[in-house]
């Protein structure tokens, strides 16, 4: 993932007035989005999930992910992963990206990297993808035979979370990478792969949110 330093600096500078203490989806707008709006002079949108907030920029090839420290009930997040701090689900994604290289499946993930800290609070960037719920498959006309084949190939491996996306992954990456991806998902207990957590970068199928949720 290539990020222009000036674009990133502009975003990080605009986040300088944000308040990251006890951050969760309930206070994300007030503590982060409002001050960011005042400082950032370009169009953007945002999304929130259970464990992180995302800043989305229409003219940039990456998004900014900001991990939450608390859940919507104001309880501290935990259970992120044994490999990193219990609350930081963005760091889990970064770690899994590194591990994916060992399995040869790194191209199956929208890459997540740490890009800076603001008052010691970590800020991450991820390759921008079109999530499945927004655009569906770029090759939607799958036959019943193709989808049934995916069901058979998933047997004994990971849950067949989306037959169309998995069929696209098989077509794009080939059988070896496909099976390696299923093994990786199993070995690292990646779950919660619903349609908003998978997507595409161009024609390339990618997992977009792969930190799971274990709180």
pLDDT at 83 exceeding the cut of 60? no
Model pLDDT for residues 153-199, shown as the tens digit of each residue: 999 887 899 999 999 999 999 999 999 999 999 999 898 999 999 99
Read off the pLDDT of each residue in 129-133 and give the average, rounded to a whole number. Answer: 96
Q: Are 118 and 112 in contact (CB under 8 A)?
A: no
Cα(78)–Cα(213) distance, integer angstroms = 9
The per-residue pLDDT for 86 is 81
Residue 70 sits at φ, ψ, to 5 deg, of: -130, 155
The per-residue pLDDT for 215 is 55
The per-residue pLDDT for 4 is 95
Cα(70)–Cα(51) distance, integer angstroms = 8
The per-residue pLDDT for 186 is 93
pLDDT at 79 exceeding the cut of 70? no
Model pLDDT for residues 18-63, shown as the tens digit of each residue: 999 999 999 999 999 999 999 999 999 999 998 999 999 999 999 9
The per-residue pLDDT for 26 is 95
The per-residue pLDDT for 74 is 85
Q: With a threshold of 0.85, does the pTM exceed it?
A: yes
The per-residue pLDDT for 73 is 87
Rounded mean pLDDT of the chain? 93
155-168 b/e with 16+ CB inside 10 Å = b? eeebebbbbbbbbb
């Amino acid at each position: 993932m290539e990020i222009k330093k000036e674009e990133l600096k502009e975003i990080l500078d605009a986040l300088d007035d944000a308040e990251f203490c006890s951050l969760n989806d309930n206070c994300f707008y007030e503590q982060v989005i409002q001050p960011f709006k005042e400082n950032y002079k370009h169009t953007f949108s945002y999304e929130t999930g259970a464990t992180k907030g995302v800043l989305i920029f229409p003219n940039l090839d990456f998004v900014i992910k900001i991990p939450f420290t608390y859940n919507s009930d104001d309880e501290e997040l935990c259970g992120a992963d044994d490999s990193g701090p219990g609350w930081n689900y963005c760091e889990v994604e970064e770690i899994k990206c590194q591990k994916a290289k060992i399995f040869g499946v790194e191209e199956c993930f929208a890459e997540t990297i740490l890009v800076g800290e603001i008052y010691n609070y970590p800020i991450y960037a991820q390759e921008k993808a079109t999530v499945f719920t927004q655009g569906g498959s770029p090759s939607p006309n799958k036959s019943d035979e193709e989808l049934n084949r995916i069901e058979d190939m998933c047997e004994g491996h990971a849950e067949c979370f989306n037959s169309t996306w998995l069929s696209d992954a098989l077509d794009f990456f080939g059988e070896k990478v496909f099976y390696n991806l299923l093994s990786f998902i199993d070995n690292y207990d990646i779950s919660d792969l619903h349609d908003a957590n998978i997507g595409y970068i161009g024609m390339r199928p990618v997992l977009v949110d792969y930190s799971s949720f274990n709180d």
